Amino acid sequence: MLSECCCESPDVAQYRVRDFWSWHRNFEIFRARFHAEFERFEEWIRSERMVEREQFLGAYYEKFEGGIDQGLVLS
């Protein structure tokens, strides 16, 4: 798993975060196991006004180096 964060527009503090998973099933296991903790974290960052708006852009599979394995990317 890898997360990547980049600033797309410094003027409006707009960021894009992408999470990379080695296998879709690993993502599903993580989501099921940590659902409650993730919800509490998201509630906290909204209450602290760290995030003004969030938009899920999509998920897709991407071939990694060597072209053998595919990983899930959430963007």
pLDDT digits (tens, 9 = 90+) for 7-39: 998 898 889 888 888 788 888 899 899 999 999
Return the pLDDT at 24: 80
Read off the tokens for 53.
Answer: 């708006």
- What does residue 59 show for φ and ψ, rounded to 5 degrees? -140, 145
**Best CA proximity match to 72, nearest among 38, 39, 23, 32:** 23
Residues in the chain: 75
Q: Is the pTM of this model over 0.75?
A: no
pLDDT at residue 35, rounded to an integer: 95
Return the domain boundaries, the chain: 2-74
